[in-house]
Structure 1
Amino acid sequence: MHDPRIDQLANVLLDHSCKLQKGEKVLIEAIDLPEPNLVCSLIEGAAKRGALPVVTWKNLNVQRSLYMTATEESMKLAAKFEQARMEDMDAYIGIRGSANSSQHADVPQKQMDLYQEHWWHPVHSGVRVPKTKWVVLRYPTDSFAQSAKMSTPAFEDFFFKVCTADYAAMAEAQKPLVKRMEAADQVRIVGPGTELEFSIKGIPVIPCNGDRNIPDGEVFTAPVRDSINGKISFNTESRYQGTVFSDICFEFKDGKIVKATANETEKLNAILDSDEGARYCGEWSLGTNNHVKHPMLDTLFDEKIGGSFHLTPGNAYDIADNSNESRIHWDLVLIQREDYGGGEIYFDGELLRKDGYFVPDDLQGLNIGL
């Protein structure tokens, strides 16, 4: 039996996220999906709107073999064709599932670096992000439900509820926060193992409410590149390139990560040594989706958690550019609700958020449901 929630999600992706128009070309890229229902719904929906759908179906086992055997020449060859196709697209929808989210855990870092530098960065950072109307999302699989510590039926109910949220209402609630961030200079963050200061003065502020990520719910900017000083201890696990990192702690001096430790300290530092920009941060963002309360080892969900923020070693987005360039972009999440240890955020000395709750009167709409 066809699940009507899939069609509802497809409509959100086509109309709200991509705003797909007649005659536009859309690339639908599916990675490790257990079945094609959402892809079929997107194809049919795009065609009904007079658009031109193109589909790629990928598999993590196949990608692992490509990465394990990669050479600079093979990665450049793959990127050549993928980049040419992406440049011909008006929109991109990336749907990522996984039977095993750790499939790439044993791929050597030098091999992943070849992929990041010669394939991912030219295709996605170079073309997809700045030049298409794009949106990415995960797909509700058994392994995803397991990471969320939920049964599959319960997780599917949660997934579709969160992913088809009222994004218009979310956009309205974010407006006062955008104004405050645009006016702010100095940010101070305190919490267990965390005492961090930086400036966001002059960096554009971007509200996110369903245009680029599903689910969504964040307002982001970037720190002035050399302004971060202090220490931060993240309390949320992060899966990156197939490895689960926990207890990540950074010490900053003039914007640079000068010390980094974790459960996998050697791997962590290998990633941060990918290039010069990897030890500087390209994004700082406040999570505003109060339907998402707990981490599930998936960045697209975890970075939106109500009462959280994320800080990102690596590349800055063009729309909120602090001039940092890197082939990595790694969103690391710190939840500041009381049940996760609490914490405070100050803008120019004024208390903005305490224990996950926004304090000023004009931001109370962002506390609903927390």
Structure 2
Amino acid sequence: MADPREEKLAKLLVQYSVHLKKGESCLINAVDIPITMTEALVKAVYDAGGYPVVNLWNQRLERAMCEQATKESLQKWADVDTYRMQQMDAFIGIRGIANVRELSTIPEKSNLASTYYNIPVHMKTRLPHTKWVVLRYPTEVFAMQANLGTVEFEDFFYKVCTEVDYLAMAEAMEQAKVFLDTVDKVHIKAKGTDLSFSVKGMGWIPCAGKMNIPDGEIYSCPVKDSVNGTITYNTESTYHGHCFKDVSFTFRDGKIIEAHSDDDALLNEILDIDEGARYIGEFALGCNPGILKPMDNILFDEKILGSIHFTPGNAYDDCDNTNRSAVHWDLVQIQRPEYGGGEMYFDGELVRKDGLFIHPKLTCLNLSLQKA
């Protein structure tokens, strides 16, 4: 039996996130999720007057496709999926968390797939040419990552995904953007962190439910060669099957010249996938009022209240410092007091302390948290 919360989520994704219109096509990429959720999405697309296309997939098949992959086999796979993506007006990607370590023993194949599949299909086709939204589905494994029982986690999931006032959040972000777009120099200080860079002329992009669910971030991008100093992240992050801990980067003129974690060799292997992986493609402020602690899931952790993420790899077309990479890894630092605190300065002025905006032009973001 379908959970009515699935129907509410599907309606939010179709009507609000991708704003599907009559006659538009929508690819539903359903990975390790119940049939009932996929059915709810199909119905929501039809109800909007759209044309659903469904791709059922799972992580075991993803591993099988990657395990013996070559550049040639990945190119053929990418060619087919790129063609399909080119026919779509919208994309909804929903993935259940089945086994976060599934790809951990084949990191070199995962890296190869990032280059020869993800770049043409997602970075060059889906991101710039479709209306899209991606999210996770509340599985038992996901609940375990959040250190919650399954029922409690489902309640949390649907609350932060479907009960947030995204319209109020969007309004607050647009107010903040007026000031943020004038910013040049950024200075971040926290435990193990003293980092400076420029966002002059890059602009800021509000994210209030249109590309991710849950949402709650506003992002920019550093001028490519402007980053100097060190950042230490205080949340764990699984990438290509390995859970990285205590990641820190040191930059010189934009490039990561030193990288450490619980596995330095594997971390540097990722950063050496291509030249762009050692440069930053995104800087963002997290402000979802319902997400307060990390759960080793990027789509949730990057929205944590009072956090930042500073992302090695590919820059988005809508906020582009020209950096290109198969990597886009949203690593998170939480700056609320219980995580060690932190300070953020824009053009020499303190604008956020211990995760709370204190600049008068940015306190609207705090207000939006209360509305949500």
Range of TM-score over shorter length? over 0.9
Displacement of 1:364: 2.6
What letter is aligned with 1:71?
Answer: T
SS of 1:231 mapped into structure 2: strand
Partners of 2:282 and 2:36 in 1: how far apart? 34
Displacement of 1:316: 0.3
Q: Aligned pair 1:58/2:57, yes or no?
A: yes
What does residue range 134-283 of structure 1 map to in structure 2 within 5 Å?
Answer: 134-164=132-162, 165-283=164-282
SS of 2:13 mapped into structure 1: helix
Partners of 2:360 and 2:283 in 1: how far apart? 23
What letter is aligned with 1:10?
Answer: A
SS of 1:27 mapped into structure 2: strand
What letter is aligned with 1:36?
Answer: I
Please say if residues 2 and 37 of structure 2, whose CA atoms lie closer than 8 Å, have aligned partners that are also in contact.
no
Partners of 2:357 and 2:176 in 1: how far apart? 10
CA-to-aligned-CA distance 1:70-104 (integer Å, 9 cap, x gap): 01111011011100000000000000112211111
SS of 1:134 mapped into structure 2: strand
Partners of 2:106 and 2:30 in 1: how far apart? 22
Please name the residue that 2:293 is paired with.
294
Q: TM-score, normalised by structure 2?
A: 0.97
Partners of 2:191 and 2:289 in 1: how far apart? 22
Identity in percent: 50
Please name the residue that 1:29 is paired with.
29
Please say if residues 25 and 52 of structure 2, whose CA atoms lie closer than 8 Å, have aligned partners that are also in contact.
yes
What letter is aligned with 1:161?
Answer: K
- Unmatched tracts of structure 1, length 5 or more: none
**Range with bigger deviation, 57-66 or 210-219:** 57-66
Partners of 2:22 and 2:329 in 1: how far apart? 35
SS of 1:124 mapped into structure 2: helix
Partners of 2:229 and 2:308 in 1: how far apart? 16
What letter is aligned with 2:154?
Answer: E
Partners of 2:38 and 2:352 in 1: how far apart? 40
What does residue range 52-91 of structure 1 map to in structure 2 within 5 Å?
Answer: 52-91=51-90
CA-to-aligned-CA distance 1:136-170 (integer Å, 9 cap, x gap): 00000000000000111111011001111110011
Which portions of structure 1, spanning 4 or more consecutive aligned residues, are displaced by more than 4 angstroms?
none
Please say if residues 137 and 215 of structure 1, whose CA atoms lie closer than 8 Å, have aligned partners that are also in contact.
yes
Aligned residues: 368
Please name the residue that 1:304 is paired with.
303
Please name the residue that 2:4 is paired with.
4
What does residue range 60-139 of structure 1 map to in structure 2 within 5 Å?
Answer: 60-109=59-108, 111-139=109-137
What letter is aligned with 2:348?
Answer: G
SS of 1:318 mapped into structure 2: coil
Displacement of 1:174: 1.5
What letter is aligned with 2:236?
Answer: E
SS of 1:213 mapped into structure 2: coil
Please say if residues 204 and 321 of structure 1, whose CA atoms lie closer than 8 Å, have aligned partners that are also in contact.
no
- Unmatched tracts of structure 2, length 5 or more: none
Please say if residues 97 and 138 of structure 2, whose CA atoms lie closer than 8 Å, have aligned partners that are also in contact.
no
What does residue range 30-49 of structure 1 map to in structure 2 within 5 Å?
Answer: 30-33=30-33, 35-49=34-48
Partners of 1:345 and 1:176 in 2: how far apart? 19
Please say if residues 107 and 240 of structure 2, whose CA atoms lie closer than 8 Å, have aligned partners that are also in contact.
no
Displacement of 1:116: 1.1
CA-to-aligned-CA distance 1:265-323 (integer Å, 9 cap, x gap): 10000000010100000100000112100000100000000100000000000000001
CA-to-aligned-CA distance 1:180-227 (integer Å, 9 cap, x gap): 220100000001110000000000210000000000000001000000
Displacement of 1:117: 1.3
Please name the residue that 1:18 is paired with.
18
What letter is aligned with 1:55?
Answer: V
Please say if residues 93 and 133 of structure 2, whose CA atoms lie closer than 8 Å, have aligned partners that are also in contact.
yes
Displacement of 1:173: 1.7
